[in-house]
Amino acid sequence: MLKWGFVYFLLAVASGVLGVTDTNMPTAVLAQMFFFGNMVLFVVFTLLGALSPQHMELPPGESGQVD
């Protein structure tokens, strides 16, 4: 999940740069919509990745049980 959050963050940055520097108004509006949409997806996937249970792997030979 965190990987997808990072991907959406990069997409948001790229579309934000295009929305700020582009002089064509319809293209700038579209880039700004992509920016805000990708920022929302970035936040959602980052929170999902941070809140999901992590699987811990034990070293070989350990069962994880207390004697």
Which pLDDT score is estimated for 22? Answer: 59
Which pLDDT score is estimated for 26? Answer: 77
Query: pLDDT band for position 64 (50/70/90)?
Result: low
Calpha distance 30→23 (Å, rounded): 12
Calpha distance 48→35 (Å, rounded): 20
Calpha distance 4→41 (Å, rounded): 9
Calpha distance 1→9 (Å, rounded): 12
pLDDT tens readout for residues 1-58 = 677 778 888 877 877 776 666 567 777 777 778 888 888 888 888 888 888 776 656 6
**Is-contact 13 34, C-beta < 8 A?**
no
Return the higher-pLDDT residue of 51 and 59. Answer: 51
Q: Report angle CA 44, 50, 53 to the nearest 5 degrees.
A: 120
Query: Domain segments of the chain: what residues?
Result: 2-50
